[in-house]
Chains A and B, each alone.
Chain A
Amino acid sequence: MGLHILAADDNEFAGLQYKKVFEKHQHEITVAKDGEACVEAYKKRLEESHSDANPFNVVLLDFVMPKKNGVRVAKEILELRPHQKIIFVSAFGNGILDDAAIFLKDDVEIIQKPFSLEFLVNKIENSHALKNMR
């Protein structure tokens, strides 16, 4: 069964590439071009689902986005769903984001740019499988 992923990146090509690679692996993906659109997409699906499960299996967030940045988007999503799995994608040097309290949560991860798309798909699939096994 495919996963449902929400990806937010202001680089149109990055969004396009996520879409291509996840759809190739039979996953469903929603792409948002900025932070605000991302929160809206999340809320929309949350309202439609009418279930206790998280609306998306994984939310992929770029740090730097117009209108709302990644950290703010993550905060808003975690307020709605405290156990939503979130993966941050960072192009910053190491260290700068260490002190953000949000990374203390188990469900929040960070990966550094650049990385291969297959690596990302594998990582998400593996962590999901692991979670289901528990």
Chain B
Amino acid sequence: MENRKTSTSLRIGISVSMIIMMLGLALFLNAFTTYEITNQMKILSDLNMPVGQGITRAYVIQQMQQNSFEDAITYQKLDSQKNYELSKIQFESYNNEWNYEVKKIKNLADTFPNYDLDNDTARDLGIMSTNLNEIESTHLQYTQKASQIFDAYDNGQTNDLTPIVTAVKAQQNQISLKTILLDDEVQKLTDSLNAGVEESKQKSFTLQMIIITSTGIMSLALGYFLNLINKDLVQEVIKKTRSLQKANRKLERMNVLKDDFINIASHELKSPLHPIYGFVELARNGDIGSEEALAGISKQARQLEEVANRILDVSRIDNGILHLSYEKFSLSDLLIEITSSYRFNLDEKIKIETALEKGIDIEADRVRIGQVIRNLLNNALKFTEKGNIKVIMQYNMQKNFVEVTISDNGHGIHPDILPNLFNKFITKGPKAESWNGNGLGLYLSREIINVHGGHIFAYNNKDVGATFKFTIPIMKHLNAKELHQKMMN
């Protein structure tokens, strides 16, 4: 119970911290994703688009420069000096424009590293820069070759220029092609950046969904653990309440027993005192002889002593200081002695029969065992009006015990009392109709037999009356085998 509670509260603690951690993670992820997307969007709007536009413009300018070169060649062949010059000037001007545009693109590209770029984008950008440089150097060569051609024209060199013109044209095509390819690359970069934004969005959405779901599960677990603790607590309270109620009932019962004991003790002590006073009074007034009074007084005094001893015995047992004085004696002789003294005082309606097996001496407390036998006989007599009380004694050498059975044909034991027969003060209480006895005799008997290492029990006979039985070891501290060996010797 204790462990389970600890582990449950531990689980609750873990659940709560997990929930907090998840929420923190969700916030962080959200911020990170926003930053990433913003960055990508910025690259797109600040760089990619201007670069793309610049490249397109450079391509257009290059096309127009190409046209003016071809125009200049054509006009030169037609000897249209004026148009040739115009085309040449146009060529130069487009050249400047192209250089300016490319420079602008390069400047923009230089600012790329200022942005927080992922590896793929940076690599793509590197390739783009290299390509741009190549285009630039090709363009430079192209311009120089074109200038050579123009210079040749201007100087009136009329030798065959066809090869060089062809080379210039080839370079023109190369530049166009490369520019288109570059444009494609920029387009690709733009696409990949756009895809990155989408991917980031998607990733963030998925992660957030996972976090929300996990948090939900954690919350459910938290609820479950709280419920568990609550149940435990409820169970605990119910258990505690029950045990308190039980303890309370026990106390109430003990209180009743205590009251009963005081009343019983009061009754048992006062009852013999009363006739003592009576004898004194009668003797003093000369109503009876002093001999008679003294005999009566001494008998009552003995009864008082017996009661006092019984109460003392009970407190000795309760304090665990009932000591036995072991001696060797014949149990059958003791039984004969006791039953004979009872027969002497009995009226004719009740007979005591004995069936005693002859055997060896036993080792026990003679006085205490006698007390038990008297208690059982008194008990049998109390509930028997007429008939037989049987006393049987049997030895069991193999098992080292002797068994004494006392059975009567009286009223039998009330079923309500039977289970607790040998407990303290078990008798029908003083308020009951047929209350009798002080409720200590059987309790003492059981304790005496138990201290001897024996057993005592009682049952109602099938036909009529009740039977009490006790067994005690024949020899103290001897097991059956040792006893057997002793017997053999």
Contact A17 B271 (CB under 8 A): no
- Supposing A13-B296, A66-B436, A92-B430 touch, asked if A113 and B273 sit within 8 A by C-beta, the answer is yes
Contact B267 A92 (CB under 8 A): yes
Q: In whole Å, how far is A65's beta carbon from the nearest beta carbon of chain B?
A: 8
Query: Does B127 sit within 8 A of A, measured CB to CB?
Result: no
Q: Mark A7-38, 1 if CB is under 8 A from B, else 0.
A: 00001011011001100100000000000000
Query: Does A41 sit within 8 A of B, measured CB to CB?
Result: no
Query: Does A49 sit within 8 A of B, measured CB to CB?
Result: no
Please report whether the interface of chain A is mostly helix, strand, loop or mixed according to DSSP: loop
Most B CB atoms within 10 A — which of A17, A68, A92, A118? A17
Contact A91 B434 (CB under 8 A): no
Query: Does A50 sit within 8 A of B, measured CB to CB?
Result: no
**Complex alpha-carbon distance, A63 and B435, angstroms:** 9
The closest CB in chain B to the CB of A91 belongs to B270
**Complex alpha-carbon distance, A14 and B274, angstroms:** 8
Contact A17 B282 (CB under 8 A): yes
Query: Does B279 sit within 8 A of A, measured CB to CB?
Result: yes
**Complex alpha-carbon distance, A21 and B263, angstroms:** 29
Q: Taking beta carbons and an 8 Å cutoff, which residues of A are in contact with B?
A: 11, 13-14, 16-17, 20-21, 24, 63-64, 66-69, 71-72, 91-93, 96-97, 100, 113-118
Contact B287 A64 (CB under 8 A): no
Partner of A67, one of B274, B279, B296, B434: B434
Contact B278 A64 (CB under 8 A): no
Q: Inside 8 A of A97's CB, which chain B residues have their CB?
A: 431
**Complex alpha-carbon distance, A63 and B431, angstroms:** 9
21 contacts between A and B (CB under 8 A): A11-B274, A13-B296, A14-B278, A17-B278, A20-B282, A21-B287, A64-B271, A66-B436, A69-B435, A71-B433, A72-B434, A91-B267, A91-B274, A92-B266, A92-B430, A93-B262, A96-B263, A96-B431, A113-B270, A117-B282, A118-B285
Chain B interface size band reads: 20 to 34
Contact A66 B382 (CB under 8 A): yes
Query: Does B154 sit within 8 A of A, measured CB to CB?
Result: no
Partner of B270, one of A20, A67, A114: A114
Contact B275 A13 (CB under 8 A): yes
Q: Inside 8 A of A63's CB, which chain B residues have their CB?
A: 267, 430
The 8 closest A-B pairs by CB, nearest first: A91-B270, A13-B275, A17-B278, A114-B274, A93-B266, A91-B267, A113-B274, A114-B277
**Complex alpha-carbon distance, A100 and B181, angstroms:** 121
**Complex alpha-carbon distance, A66 and B436, angstroms:** 6
7 further interface pairs, Cβ-Cβ under 8 Å (given A13-B300, A71-B431, A72-B433):
A11-B272, A13-B279, A14-B278, A69-B436, A92-B263, A113-B271, A114-B274
